[in-house]
Structures are given as C-alpha cells and as structure tokens.
Structure 1
Amino acid sequence: MGVVNGTAQAPVERVPKQDRSRATRQRLLEAAVACLAERGWAGSTVSVVAEHAGVSRGAAQHHFPTREDLFTAAVEYVAEERSTALRALFPEGATDRRAVVAALVDLYTGPLFRAALHLWVAASNEAQLRTRVTELEGRVGRETHRIAVELLNADETRPGVRETVQGFLDMSRGLGLANLLTDDTPRRTGVVTQWSHILDTALGP
C-alpha cells in the first residue's frame, strides 16, 4: 500500500497482459457469434464485431488478421460450446433416451446453431472460407455423432445403427432450420417423441 499526499492508497490490481489478451479474444468470439446470429454474414464486419465487443478494430485484427480468421474461430468456439453444453446436461451419463433426443435437438435450435448457419451460407459463396468451414464442420460432425452414440447407448457394430443415429442428427438439423422463421416448438415436441420411439426400436434397450 502506497502513500500519496499523506493518504494511504490501496495497491492497484494489475491484470497480467496474457490474461487481458485472452479476455479480449473471448469477447471477440462471443461478439462474432452474436453478430452472426443477429445480423448474418453481410452485416458482421470486423468493425461491427469489434464495436460489439468493446475493443478497437486494431485489437480485433491483432487477434484475427482477417474476417475469415475471426469467423472460422467463432464457429469453432460455437462447436466447443455446443459439445460442452451437451456433456453438462448428463454429467453422470444418460438413462432417459427421450431426454437425450430432446437435448440433441435443442443443440440445433438456439443462437449457436443460428450463427453457424450464417457462416455455412457465406462459405457456400466464398471459396476461401469454404475450405476452412468444410474442414471444421467435418470435425464438428464427427464429434457430435460420437457424443450422440455415447449418450444414446447405441451399439454401432449392429447393422443400420450408425445410419439411424446419423439420420436422427440430420433430422435434428432440419428441425433447427424450420425453427429459424417461426417458433416450431409444438411440432418439434411431437417429432422428438416419435424419434424417441424409433430409436428405442432401432437401438434396443
């Protein structure tokens, strides 16, 4: 504790530079996800994201030199958040298959999926972005499938089981798309119930 003009001053708490840098990067990624979900690709420039994150454009470009770098990192962040959220729902393992089906479907109906979707659309028209997003989504898809198999207690050595799980995930993505324009909750609830029955039949107890 120092003394200034006879008055005791509390020591200034300094945040290590590395921690500040990590916090800035995190704010930029969260802001990029929010901007993609709210404004789409066309409205999500580096400047807009930087302003949303409360940092300068220069600081944003220090962490992510190009727009593609920023939004590819943002979708990777989205994927990690989705996986973390799913695992957190069943920390002790899953026993209720319908609850697992509902949780997996929910992954495709929130802002994280909406943000990823905007990037997919942009990647379909941007050759430089397409390669990076395709590679990333391949990895995300394999991870999501692996988690689904584990939570659904599916034995993929049995004929047709792998295709059934993949079909369920494809259906979940379709429900996410349907939910973009209107609240599709009532119909989605019925579909979740029916797919739970289908999976019980296909996967066994």
Structure 2
Amino acid sequence: MTGIAKSRRTQEERTAQTRLALIEAAIATIHDLGYTGAVTAIISERAGVSRGAMLHHFGTRAALMAEVVRHVFEREMAEYEETRIATGLGDRLDDWPRVLWAVLNRPTGLAVLEILQATRSDAELAALVVPMQEEVEQSALVVMRGAFGGDEILARSVMRLMVWSVRGLSIAERYLPHRQENEAAIRLLSQLIKLAAPDGKMTGLGPFTEGDLD
C-alpha cells in the first residue's frame, strides 16, 4: 500500500513538473518571440516534451496561456512579499510603484501583457483569460484594501493607476531608449502618491464618482 501511494505521489509530481516546464517555456518564448511567435511546437520543444503531451496537459494553446496568467499572478504575490522583506518597502501606499516595478518589469510581466493584448483578436483566449484577470484583480484588491483602506471604487482606481502605469513603463523599458527616465518616472509616481496620501493610506483620497471626470 505504501508503494502504491509513493508511486501515485511520484506521478503527481511528474505531472506538476511537466506543467511547470510548459508554463515557463511559454513565458520564455513569448518574451523572445512575442505572443504570435509562441506556437505550441516551439513551446513544447523548449519544455522538452512532445506537442501531444502539451495538449494532454492543457488541451489548447489558449488554455496554456490562461494558466500562464494564473501562474504569474501567484508567483508575483510571493515576489511582492520577498521584495518587501528585502527592501523594507511596502508598508506605505507610495512604496508600491517601486515594489511593482521590481516585480512587473520582468519577462513574466511582459508575457502576461502580451497575452492580455492577444485577447482582442482571440475569442477563445478572451473567454479564459479575461475572467481570470478579473479574478486576479479582485484578489489583489482585497489585499490592498486590508492594508491601506479605501472603499472598493477608490482602491481599484488607485491600484489600476499604479499597476498599469508600471506595466506601461515596463513596455517602454524594453522598446524605447533613455531607460533611466523610466526609473525616474517610477520615483515621480511614488512622490505624487505621497503628496496625495501623506499618511501612506487611502484615507485622505476620494471618494471619486463618475461625475468627477466630467
């Protein structure tokens, strides 16, 4: 009986290792070749498995890409905590542009961006990824509100301002010259948030409504 249980655990471990190898190969391929170039044949070859094995584990390319989004989010949540411990940043709202920059400005973050952009022209991918991205955002929102307060609309607005500003700068970091200005932009965003929320919380911000944009 012990031998059977050990064999089952080994098979589960092998399955997890294969899935992880495919996810990491997908991230690397998107980073090197772009989303369009990240075809299943190249991804499976990089992962060291057959294309049939890849389809066995994920069914479709879109399903694999959706799992990339989930995997990257889970990894990023761990990396945020690691960055907090390593740098001492994260207890104040204005710390977070720098924390986000340290995590999102990586191949994993760029891979997720390309997958999200691809949902515009791929209905199957959109059906899998868009609800997952909304789930990811909601999970992050709960954590952010717990740390910094704010009602849901305000917290989501602040989070989107920071996350998508950093994601946009991560694109500039890869494709545009004068990269030192990207670091300066991150510092500027932190300073602006500090001016708006000097106590490091969201208590002095908002609330905002749609009418405020008129």
Alignment TM-score, normalising by the size of structure 1? 0.79
1:104 to 95, 100, 103: 100
Decide which structure has the larger Cα Rg and report it: 1
Q: String of CA shifts for 1:114-156, please: whole Å, max 9, x gaps.
A: 1112212221101111121111111222334444556xx5331
Question: Hey, what's the Cα distance between the residues in 2 that align with 1:88 and 1:57?
Answer: 35
2:144–2:155 CA contact under 8 A, matched in 1:
no
**1:201 is matched with which residue?**
195
Aligned to 1:26, what secondary structure does the other structure show? helix
Q: Which amino acid letter does the alignment assign opposite residue 204 of structure 1?
A: P
Alpha carbons of structure 1 residues 45 and 157: separation in structure 2 relative to 1, 3 Å? closer
1:112-123 correspondence to structure 2 within 5 Å: 112-123=108-119
Q: String of CA shifts for 1:31-81, please: whole Å, max 9, x gaps.
A: 111111111222212221110001112221111111111111112111111
- What's the C-alpha RMSD, in Å, of the aligned pairs? 2.8
Q: Percent identity?
A: 23
- TM-fit CA distance, 1:168: 2.5
Aligned length: 191
Q: Which amino acid letter does the alignment assign opposite residue 80 of structure 1?
A: E
2:65–2:115 CA contact under 8 A, matched in 1:
yes
Alignment TM-score, normalising by the size of structure 2? 0.76
1:108–1:175 CA contact under 8 A, matched in 2:
no
1:94 aligns with 2:90: yes
Aligned to 1:156, what secondary structure does the other structure show? coil
**2:49 is matched with which residue?**
55
Alpha carbons of structure 1 residues 183 and 19: separation in structure 2 relative to 1, 3 Å? farther
- TM-fit CA distance, 1:184: 5.3
Unpaired runs of 5+ residues, structure 1, are: 1-13
Aligned to 2:119, what secondary structure does the other structure show? helix
1:40–1:118 CA contact under 8 A, matched in 2:
yes
Aligned to 2:105, what secondary structure does the other structure show? coil
Alpha carbons of structure 1 residues 189 and 50: separation in structure 2 relative to 1, 3 Å? same
Aligned to 1:124, what secondary structure does the other structure show? coil
As a proportion of its length, which structure holds more helix?
2
2:26–2:65 CA contact under 8 A, matched in 1:
yes
Structure 1 runs (4+) deviating above 3 angstroms are: 91-100, 143-150, 157-166
